[in-house]
């Protein structure tokens, strides 16, 4: 994953797993705040790519 990657995380179990097992160094993390924002991850990644045109975006969520 590139150093300028932007990672957006959806709500649910994947949020807890990400926080527990993923070590972030020099990356931007977008989290919803846990309360009732189902479907946050993908739109957040789209907005991040639009705002930072040279960055890569990754969404962590349940399908």
Asked whether residue 19 is domain-assigned, the answer is yes
* pLDDT tens by residue, 10-32: 887 878 888 888 887 777 888 88
Q: Side-chain half-sphere of 11: how many Cα atoms within 13 Å?
A: 9
Which structural domain, as residue segments, surrounds residue 33? 6-60
* pLDDT tens by residue, 43-62: 888 888 888 887 788 887 77
Asked whether residue 33 is domain-assigned, the answer is yes
Find out whether 61 and 41 touch, Cβ atoms under 8 Å.
yes
Asked whether residue 1 is domain-assigned, the answer is no
H/E segment holding residue 14: helix 13-21
Side-by-side strand order, sheet with 6-9: 28-31, 6-9, 57-60
pTM value? Answer: 0.74
How many structural domains comprise the chain?
1
Find out whether 56 and 4 touch, Cβ atoms under 8 Å.
yes
């Amino acid at each position: 994953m590139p150093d300028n990657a932007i990672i957006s995380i959806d709500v649910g179990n994947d949020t807890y797993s990400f926080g527990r097992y993923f070590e972030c160094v020099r990356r931007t993390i977008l989290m919803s705040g846990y309360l009732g924002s189902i479907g946050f991850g993908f739109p957040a990644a789209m907005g991040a790519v639009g705002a930072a045109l040279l960055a890569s975006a990754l969404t962590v969520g349940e399908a």
